Copies of this chain bind each other. A is one copy, B any other.
Amino acid sequence: MRPGERPEIASLPLFRDMQDEQRDRIFSGSFLQVFPPQLTLFEQGQRPDFLHVLVDGLVELYASGAGRDTTMRVVEPVSSFILAAVVTDMPYLMSARTLTSSRILLVPAAKIREVVRHDHAFMDATMRELAMAYRDMVRALTDMKLRQSAERLGNLLLQQEQRQGGTGTVKLRAEKRLLASLLGMTPENLSRAFGVLAAHGVRTDGANVTLADREALEALVRPDAISD
Contacts and interface: CB of A to CB of B under 8 A. Distances in A.
A25 interface: no
Given A44-B226, A120-B123, A226-B45, A94 B146 contact: no
Contacts of A68: 146
Interface residues of A, number: 49
Contacts of A126: 127
Interface in A104-156: 116-117, 120, 123-124, 126-128, 130-135, 137-142, 144-147, 151
Given A65-B224, A87-B127, A135-B90, A140 B141 contact: yes
A202 interface: no
A153 B202 CA distance: 38
Copies assembled: 2
The 9 closest A-B pairs by CB, nearest first: A137-B137, A130-B130, A63-B142, A84-B131, A127-B127, A70-B145, A134-B134, A65-B146, A84-B134
Contacts of A123: 120, 123-124, 127
Contacts of A139: 93
Interface string A66-89: 111010100000000001110110
Contact of A135 (B67, B72, B93, B142): B93
A134 to B, nearest CB: 4
Interface of A: 44-45, 63-68, 70, 72, 83-85, 87-88, 90-91, 93-94, 116-117, 120, 123-124, 126-128, 130-135, 137-142, 144-147, 151, 184, 222, 224-226
